[in-house]
Each structure stands twice: as structure tokens, then as C-alpha cells.
Structure 1
Amino acid sequence: MDAQIQALFLHLLQSIQSIRFSAIGSATVLFYDHLITFDDEIEFIWRKDWSILKGVFIFHRYLGLTCLIIGLCGVFWIQWEMWGYSTVVVTAELVLLLWIFVIYNRNRVILLVLAVSFMAQLISVVAILAQSFSQIKISANLLPGLEFCFLINEPQFFYWYWLPILVYNTIILGLFVYKGRHAFLRSKNAHVNLLNDVYRKSFINFFAIFIAYLLCCVLWLTGDFSLGQIPIGFALSFSITNSTRLLINIRHAYYAREEVDIQPTRLIYANQAPAEEWLFELRNLRI
């Protein structure tokens, strides 16, 4: 029995170490990205007029940064962690929804699909968290001399938390890949204008967020819950960094419209709408 207890304690200590290292790693990714993009943030966000995009950018970036800092300090509880992280994730989903809406030429059918999917995801996540927190039991003193929050029981639906988020992002990624299939089949030697460059970078942003959510979902459903906590910080970091980079890239394209020769493109719209229309739509959306 003593050997089993020692093995359990050793496993818990190793889990704590892995979680702490992953938290430091994810925070490092976020801080580094913040540092290297801060000049663009000043140029394309703070020095520009207030808009929907500016408000979303500031809220998303600095709420996420606050969540990670609090997590590193250890002054948090699981309810704060899950609700705070969920708010950041939902904000990222709104950014992706807006971008898909723009590249589909403000198609109302697409908007309806995205809105219904987004609300279904939001309701599912809130229901899972509310149900789980009514049953959850946590101990911060499970190991003598070490304060760390441990999940004592396992709420019935808690591990399904990432599933609706993953389903929604699968829809988002599928819509984006469908619209951008021509861009990815182009020759490497083909001329790539500013908008096409934003389009290609957007795919990297979408795909990185999708992979982070996929990893969280797989580990929460099939793995040890202690291991499932490891990718959460990275999912949050990727959500923040990729969404804010997408917003900066969009702003860069918008404000650089008078500095580049923008040619008509088939990569944004199926109906061969010119790039000027794309910029006009961003203007109408008050981006």
C-alpha cells in the first residue's frame, strides 16, 4: 500500500512539474510574440481610430495575457481559469468568424451557418462548465507541503469541454480551405500581392489554432487529465497570437491600400470581385 501511495505521489509531482513547464513554455511563446509584434501593434492598432477591430484586439490580447500571468503566479482557481480562458477562446472565434464572413463576400448564408455554429458552441461550452462546476471537488493540499489544485472527482461531462470548440473550428477551417484552394495550388514563382499574402498567412493562423484545440480535445477525452492540462496554455497562447496576428495583417492590408498596386484577384471571391471591394467591405464593417 505504501508503495502504491509513493507511486501516486511521484506521478502527481511529475504531473505538476510538466504542467508548470508547459505553462512557462506557453507564456514564453506569448511574451515573445508580443515583443516582436509590438511595433506593428503601435502602428496599426494604437495609432489608428477606434473601431470594432481595435476593441477586439486590445480586449483579446490583454485579457489573454492577464490570464497567463495569473496562471503563472498560481493565484487562481479552476473556475477563473476555465471561464477566463473560455472568454479568450470565444473572442478568438469571433475574429475567425469575421474573417470568414469577409472572404465569402459577406454572404448571408455563410453568416447564418457561422452564427448558428458559434451559438451552438457557446451554449455547449457554458452548459458543460456550469454542470461541471456544480459537481467539481478540488483540493489544494493533497500533497503535504505543496499547494497545487488537484481535481478530486471527475464531473460527467467536464472532459467534453473541448469537443464543441473543435467542431466549430473544423467548420471554420473547412470554409477557409474551400475558399483558398486556388491560392495553395499556385506556383511558387507566381506573383503574390499583398492581399494574397494576408490570405496565405491566415491559413497558418487558422491551422495552428485548430491543431492546438485538437490536441486538447484528444488528451482530455483519451489521456490522463494531468496530461490534458499541458496543452491548455499553448491553446490559449496560439489562440491569442494567431488571432492578433490575423488582425494586424488585415489592418496592414487595409492601410497599405494606397501604397501598393492591388490587382483584381480570384482568391478572395468566387465572383472575381476586385481587391478594392474587399477593402470596401472591411471599411463597411468598421474594421
Structure 2
Amino acid sequence: MSAPPESLDTAAAHLLAAKYFQLAGYAMLIFDHLITFGDEVERIWKRKFTGATVLFALNRYLTPVQFALILDAFHNPAWEGESCTKYVSFEGFCTVALVGVCEMVMILRIYALYDCKLPILAVLSTVLVAQIIVGAYGIHNGFPVPLPPQLVGCIFTGHTLFAALWFGPLVTDVFIFSFTLWRTKAYFTRRGRGSTPTIELFVRDGVMYFMVIFSVNFLNILIYIFAVEDLKAIGASFSQLMTSVMISRLVLNLRSVGQSRDELYDTQPGMQFATNRRSRREEDTFMTRTIGDLGGELKSGFYDTDDSHWDDGQHTDTVESDQNIELSRVP
């Protein structure tokens, strides 16, 4: 028996809204790729291949491939029946995995910020594992949105626990943001005379990431709770796309610090030059920990910078040698 005209019109309108929303999110992702591709080449592919490179590539290029398949499933009538049922499970688990990759980048930034202390990594890794388990459980019984036969679309949704797909990252991001604020407060307090550009960028990007992703995930939870059945998961793709864009921007921004810092310091002479060299040395050590191996066993000299070379305000050969060693480790 065919659906009543009113129901069919409503279902068609909701389906069209979901398709437009999906296309808009994907267009945003591709546009961001295009406008940042030059920075990506300079700051990622022309520098040392590290763990940051691997995580960046997974997020940067698997996400568009996944969403190309999602768009095809939204519009291709071949995705129906059993093939659609199998596909939506694949879509859900891909989302959990790729969001987990993004969270790994954030966690390893915190690990670097805390001088590569294993207890910090253990706590945040436990939170991430819990997020993945909860998310996987929430989507394991997902199913396609029921549509009238006249309409085409393979769209993923689920039962009540489906909201765990957004609740898990929301909790993880609260942990990460809290750790960030606590540690950077110590840096600001210690320096007294002000923060370095690296720390300022670290805090700015951390706050921006948290506010954007927290808001998107919280909005998705509200939509899932209050929206009609066939619109409950309308924002699922957008939250993952925004997470992907923010992580890419975060890594690219951190890698830009080395370039702008070199342009600044190499033009400053005399005693001011020597003073800035000291600040540069501190930043190099911190930045190496942050975006080098993203959590490798790196030198933790941020707090232990030797002041003896700077007592006379002069730039000695010994200090220049130390700077060369530090700079050689920045990817």
C-alpha cells in the first residue's frame, strides 16, 4: 500500500534537506582542502615524515573518500535493500574510527604539552578507548532510514543509544580541553613576562577546536532527541566533517610557527637578538615535542633551559651549536 500524499511529501522534503545538508558539508571539506593545499605541501610533505604526518594523512584523505561513498549512497538507487543495510554499518564504524584518529592527534598534543609523561597518555588513551567502545556499541544496531518506495536514499540512523556517536567525543574533548587549560596556565605563570607564540597558538587552537566541536556534537545530541524520526541523524556527517577540518587546520597552524619564527628572529641583531634566541630555544624544544613525533621520547627541555649561556646577553658559539641541534629536530 502506498504512503498517503501528505506523508510522501513530508518524507521527500526531509530527504531533500538531508541530501542538501550532506552536500553542503562535503563542499565545505573539499573547499578547505583546496585553499590549504599549498600550506599542506610546504608544512607537511616537504618536511620530515613523522607520526604527525601519518595521522594527518589518514584524517585528510580517508574522510573525503568515506563521504564520497556516503554521497553516492544518498543518491544512487543501487544502494537499497540488503546492500544498504550492510553499507550503513560500514559507514558507522568508519565514522567511529576516523573520529578516533582526530582525537589521537589532540591527545598526543596534550602528551607533548605534559613533557611526554606516560600517566597523562594513559588517562587520555583510556578515555579514547571508552569513546570508541561506546560509539561502536551505539551504532552496532544501526539501520537505514525507512523511506517510501518512490524515494531514493541509503541513510544511516539508529535507536536511542545512537546518540553515543556524539556523546563520546563530547566527553573526550572536555577532558582534553581541561588538561590543556591546566598545563598552559602553568606555562603562563612560569614565564611571567609573557607567553611564546607557540603557546599562544596552542591555547588559541585548543579553545577554538573545543568550542566548535563541542557545540556541533551537543547540537547533534539535541537534534537526535527532539527531531522527527527521519531527521534524527541529519547532523551526523557534519560533525565528523567539522572535526576533520579543525584537526587539519590545527596541525597546519602548528607547523606554521617554525616558518614565521625564523622570519622574525633572523632579522633582529645585538642583545635583543640574543634574548630572542633564548626564547626561540624554548619554543623549538616545545614545538618538537608537540608536532615532531607526536609523543615520541623527545627532549623535555622547556623547563630546563640553561641560563648560563645568556648571563652576558651575548650570542656565543656554544649557544649557536645548541640551536642548530634543536632546529634539526623540528620536522
TM-score range, shorter chain: 0.7 to 0.9
| 1:89-131: CA deviation from partner (whole Å, max 9, x where unpaired) | 111111111112222332333222201111111121222333x
Letter in 2 for 1:115: S
Q: Distance in 1 between matches of 2:88 and 2:213?
A: 23
Q: Could you say which residue in structure 2 is the equivalent of 1:269?
A: none
Contact 2:177 2:210 in 1 (8 A): yes
Q: Could you say which residue in structure 1 is the equivalent of 2:237?
A: 233
Post-superposition offset of 1:22: 0.6
Q: Distance in 1 between matches of 2:9 and 2:25?
A: 24
Post-superposition offset of 1:24: 1.3
Q: Distance in 1 between matches of 2:259 and 2:43?
A: 8
Contact 2:66 2:94 in 1 (8 A): yes
Give the structure with higher Rg (CA): 2
SS at match of 1:161: helix
* Residue 83 of structure 1 pairs with residue 82 of structure 2: no
Q: Which has the higher contact order (CA 8 A, sep 6+)?
A: 1
Residue of 95, 100, 110 corresponding to 2:120: 110
Q: Could you say which residue in structure 2 is the equivalent of 1:278?
A: 286
Q: TM-score, normalised to structure 2's length?
A: 0.70
Post-superposition offset of 1:84: 1.8
SS at match of 1:230: coil
| 1:8-45: CA deviation from partner (whole Å, max 9, x where unpaired) | 22221121011011111111211111111100011111
1:197-236 equivalence runs, <5 A: 197-236=201-240
- Structure 2 gap segments, 5+ residues each: 80-86, 189-193, 266-275, 297-330
| 1:120-163: CA deviation from partner (whole Å, max 9, x where unpaired) | 11121222333x14xx4x477x32332223679x5453343322
Contact 2:23 2:71 in 1 (8 A): yes
* Residue 122 of structure 1 pairs with residue 132 of structure 2: yes
1:252-263 equivalence runs, <5 A: 252-254=256-258, 258-261=262-265
SS at match of 1:146: coil
For the structure 1 residues 150 and 52, does the alpha-carbon distance in structure 2 shift closer, same or farther, using more than 3 Å as the test?
closer
Count residues with an aligned counterpart: 268
* Residue 164 of structure 1 pairs with residue 161 of structure 2: no
Q: Could you say which residue in structure 2 is the equivalent of 1:27?
A: 26
Letter in 2 for 1:17: L
Post-superposition offset of 1:191: 8.3
RMSD: 3.2
Q: Could you say which residue in structure 1 is the equivalent of 2:149?
A: 144
Letter in 2 for 1:146: L
Q: Distance in 1 between matches of 2:122 and 2:107?
A: 11
Contact 1:60 1:92 in 2 (8 A): yes
For the structure 1 residues 230 and 181, does the alpha-carbon distance in structure 2 shift closer, same or farther, using more than 3 Å as the test?
farther
For the structure 1 residues 41 and 157, does the alpha-carbon distance in structure 2 shift closer, same or farther, using more than 3 Å as the test?
same
Contact 1:30 1:237 in 2 (8 A): yes
* Residue 51 of structure 1 pairs with residue 56 of structure 2: no
Q: Distance in 2 between matches of 1:263 and 1:237?
A: 40
For the structure 1 residues 166 and 263, does the alpha-carbon distance in structure 2 shift closer, same or farther, using more than 3 Å as the test?
farther
Identical columns (%): 21
